[in-house]
A and B are shown apart, each in its own frame.
Chain A
Amino acid sequence: NAGVTQTPKFQVLKTGQSMTLQCAQDMNHNSMYWYRQDPGMGLRLIYYSASEGTTDKGEVPNGYNVSRLNKREFSLRLESAAPSQTSVYFCASSEWGPQVDGYTFGSGTRLTVV
Chain B
Amino acid sequence: KNEVEQSPQNLTAQEGEFITINCSYSVGISALHWLQQHPGGGIVSLFMLSSGKKKHGRLIATINIQEKHSSLHITASHPRDSAVYICAADGGATNKLIFGTGTLLAVQP
A and B together in one complex: yes
- As a 0/1 sequence over residues 85 to 105 of chain B, the CB contacts with chain A under 8 angstroms (1 = contact) are 010101010111111111000
Name the residue among B48, B97, B102 with the largest chain A CB count within 10 angstroms: B97
Closest chain-A Cβ to B98's Cβ sits at a distance in Å of 8
Closest chain-B Cβ to A43's Cβ sits at a distance in Å of 4
The listed residue (A40, A44, A100) touching B48 by CB distance below 8 A is: A100
Q: Which chain B residues lie closer than 8 Å to A56 at the CB level?
A: 94
The listed residue (A102, A105, A108) touching B47 by CB distance below 8 A is: A102
Interface of A is mostly: loop
* Residues B31 and A42 in contact, CB atoms below 8 Å apart: no
Q: Which chain B residues lie closer than 8 Å to A74 at the CB level?
A: none
Q: How far is the CA of A106 from the CA of B44 in the complex (A)?
A: 9
Q: How far is the CA of A106 from the CA of B37 in the complex (A)?
A: 12
What residue in chain B is nearest A3 (Cβ atoms)? Answer: B42
How many A-B Cβ pairs are below 8 Å? 66
B7 within 8 A of A: no
Q: How far is the CA of A51 from the CA of B50 in the complex (A)?
A: 23
Q: Could you tell me which B residues sit within 8 Å of A by CB distance?
A: 2, 4, 30-31, 33, 35, 41-45, 47-48, 50, 86, 88, 90, 92, 94-102
Extra 13 A-B pairs, beta carbons < 8 Å, given A97-B95, A98-B31, A105-B45: A33-B96, A42-B86, A42-B101, A43-B97, A50-B94, A94-B95, A96-B95, A98-B30, A100-B48, A101-B45, A102-B31, A102-B45, A102-B47
